[in-house]
Structure 1
Amino acid sequence: MSARAVTATAVLVGFVGILALPGAAEAAQQHEGPVVVAHRGGSQYAPENTLQAIDKADKLGFDWVENDVQRTKDGRLVVIHDTNLARTTNVEKVFPGRAPYNVRDFTAAQIAKLDAGSWKGAKFTGARIPTLTQYLDRVDHNHQKLLMEIKDPELYPGIERDVLRLLGKEGWLNRDHVRNRLVIQSFSAASVRTVHERRPDITTGFLGTPAKDDLPRYARFADLINPGNGTISARYVAAVHAFRGPHGKRLQLFTWTVNDAATARRMAGFGVDGIISNVPDVVRKAVGGGE
Structure 2
Amino acid sequence: MPETRQIIPLLLAAAFISGCSSLPATGPDAGQPPLIVAHRGGAADFPENTLLAIDNALRNQVDMLWLTVQLSRDGVPVLYRPADLSANTGQSGTVSEKTLAQLQQLNAGWNFKHTAADGQVSFPYRAQALPIPSLQQALAAIPENVPVILDMKALPAGPQAQAVAQLLERLHAWNRVLIYSTDASYQQAFAQYPKARLFESRDGTRDRLAGVALAHDCAAPPAPGTWVAFEYRRPVQLVETFTLGEARSKVDARLWTPAAVDCFQSAGKVGMLAIGVNSAEDYRAAACLKMDAVLVDSPRAMRDVKQRLERPLRCN
Match of 1:211 among 202, 207, 212: 207
Bigger strand share: 2
Matched, 1:118 2:110: yes
48 and 26 in structure 1: CA distance in 2 versus 1, 3 angstrom threshold: closer
Q: In structure 1, what is the Cα distance between the partners aligned to 2:297 and 2:65?
A: 10
Q: In structure 1, what is the Cα distance between the partners aligned to 2:193 and 2:43?
A: 30
Instruction: Tell whether the 8 Å contact from 2:14 to 2:146 is kept in structure 1 after alignment.
Output: no
Match of 1:145 among 140, 144, 147: 147
Instruction: Tell whether the 8 Å contact from 1:257 to 1:277 is kept in structure 2 after alignment.
Output: yes
Partner of 1:158: 159
Q: What SS does the corresponding residue of 1:117 show, helix, strand or coil?
A: coil
CA deviation vs aligned residue, 1:9-41 (integer Å, no higher than 9, x gap): 223235656434465x44776311111111111
Partner of 1:70: 70
Q: In structure 2, what is the Cα distance between the partners aligned to 1:143 and 1:267?
A: 24
Q: In structure 1, what is the Cα distance between the partners aligned to 2:27 and 2:111?
A: 43
CA deviation vs aligned residue, 1:102-135 (integer Å, no higher than 9, x gap): 2222222221111112322425721011011111
**Aligned alpha-carbon RMSD (Å):** 2.9
Partner of 2:96: 104
Q: In structure 2, what is the Cα distance between the partners aligned to 1:43 and 1:282?
A: 12
234 and 288 in structure 1: CA distance in 2 versus 1, 3 angstrom threshold: farther
Match of 1:129 among 128, 132, 149: 132
More off after superposition, 280-289 vs 103-112:
280-289
Partner of 2:298: 279
Matched, 1:229 2:229: no
Between the aligned residues of both structures, percent identity stands at 22
Bigger helix share: 1
Quote how far apart the aligned CAs of 1:215 are.
5.5
Alignment TM-score, normalising by the size of structure 1? 0.79
CA deviation vs aligned residue, 1:58-117 (integer Å, no higher than 9, x gap): 11112411101111222221111112111111114xxxxxxxx12222222221111112
Q: In structure 2, what is the Cα distance between the partners aligned to 1:19 and 1:85?
A: 39
Q: What SS does the corresponding residue of 1:203 show, helix, strand or coil?
A: coil
Alignment of 1:224-263 (within 5 A): 224-230=227-233, 231-244=255-268, 250-263=269-282
Partner of 1:265: 284
Rg larger for? 2
More off after superposition, 47-56 vs 9-18:
9-18
Partner of 1:34: 34
Q: What SS does the corresponding residue of 2:228 show, helix, strand or coil?
A: strand
Gaps of 5+ in 1: 93-100, 245-249
Alignment TM-score, normalising by the size of structure 2? 0.73
Runs of 4 or more off by more than 6 Å in structure 1?
none
Match of 1:189 among 162, 180, 184: 184
